Amino acid sequence: MHFKNALLAIAFIMLSTIAFIAPSQAKELTVDQIFDNKAFKSERSKSASWLKDGSGYSLIEKSDTVKDGFDANLYDPATGKKTTLIKAEDLIPTGTDKPLKIEDFTWSDDGSLALIYTNSLKVWRYKTQGDYWILNRETKALHKVGKKSLASSLMFAKFSPDGTKIAYVQKIPAKNGKAIHDIYVEGVDGKKRKRLTKDGSMTIFNGTFDWVYEEELSLRDGFRWSPDSKKIAYWQLDSSKVRDFTMINNTDAKDNYPTLHTFSYPKVGETNSAARIGVVSARGGKTKWMNIPGDKRNHYLAWMEWAANSTEIAVQQLNRRQNTNRLFYANAKSGKATNIFTDKDDAWLNPVTDFTWLNDGAEFLWVSEAGGWRQILRVSRDGKTVKNITPGAFDVTRIRRIDTKGGYVYFDASPTDPQRMYLYRVAIDGSSKAERLTPQDQIGIHSYQISHDGKWAFHSWSNRSKVSTKHMVSLPDHKKLNTISGFW
Characterize the bridge pairing of strands 324-331 and 337-344: antiparallel
Q: Do 317 and 382 belong to one domain?
A: yes
Q: What is residue 41's predicted lDDT score, i.e. its pLDDT?
A: 60
Q: How many CB atoms lie within 10 A of CB 37?
A: 10
Q: Is residue 53 part of a domain?
A: no
SS3 category, 307: coil
Q: Is residue 94 part of a domain?
A: no
Cα gap 397→143, rounded to integer Å: 43
Q: What is residue 394's predicted lDDT score, i.e. its pLDDT?
A: 94
Q: What is residue 180's predicted lDDT score, i.e. its pLDDT?
A: 86
Phi, psi of 336 (to 5 degrees): -65, 130
Q: Do 316 and 402 belong to one domain?
A: no
Q: Do 404 and 321 belong to one domain?
A: no
Q: Do 314 and 367 belong to one domain?
A: yes
Which of 388, 418, 452 finishes a domain?
Answer: 388
Q: Do 373 and 400 belong to one domain?
A: no
Q: What is residue 5's predicted lDDT score, i.e. its pLDDT?
A: 44
Please name the amino acid found at residue 440. Q
Mean pLDDT across 5-30? 49
Q: What is residue 23's predicted lDDT score, i.e. its pLDDT?
A: 46
Q: How many folded domains does the chain comprise?
A: 3
Beta bridge partners of 234: 223, 278
Q: What is residue 79's predicted lDDT score, i.e. its pLDDT?
A: 87
Q: What is residue 33's predicted lDDT score, i.e. its pLDDT?
A: 74
CA 413 to chain CA centroid, Å, is 22
Cα gap 272→250, rounded to integer Å: 27
Q: Do 418 and 375 belong to one domain?
A: no
Which of 388, 413, 442 finishes a domain?
Answer: 388
Mean pLDDT across 331-358? 95
Range of the domain at 438: 396-488
Side-chain-side CA neighbours of 425 within 13 Å: the count stands at 21
Q: Is residue 46 part of a domain?
A: no
Cα gap 212→271, rounded to integer Å: 12
Cα gap 482→469, rounded to integer Å: 11
Q: What is residue 464's predicted lDDT score, i.e. its pLDDT?
A: 86
Q: Do 298 and 354 belong to one domain?
A: yes
Q: Is residue 249 part of a domain?
A: no
Mean pLDDT across 120-145? 93
Q: Give the model confidence (pLDDT) of 200-223 as tens digits.
A: 998 999 999 998 999 999 999 999
Cα gap 158→185, rounded to integer Å: 10
Q: Give the model confidence (pLDDT) of 420-440 as tens digits.
A: 999 999 999 999 899 999 999
SS3 category, 33: helix
Which of 388, 413, 435 finishes a domain?
Answer: 388
Cα gap 325→302, rounded to integer Å: 9
Residue 114 has pLDDT above 90, yes or no: yes
Q: Is residue 334 part of a domain?
A: yes
Mean pLDDT across 467-476? 89
Residue 178 has pLDDT above 90, yes or no: no
Please, which residues have CB within 8 angstroms of residue 71's CB and are 6 or more apart in sequence? Answer: 60, 61, 62, 63, 84, 85, 86, 87, 88, 102
Cα gap 475→71, rounded to integer Å: 29
Q: Do 405 and 368 belong to one domain?
A: no
Mean pLDDT across 227-250? 94
Q: Do 377 and 423 belong to one domain?
A: no
Of all residues in the chain, the percent with pLDDT exceeding 70 is 89
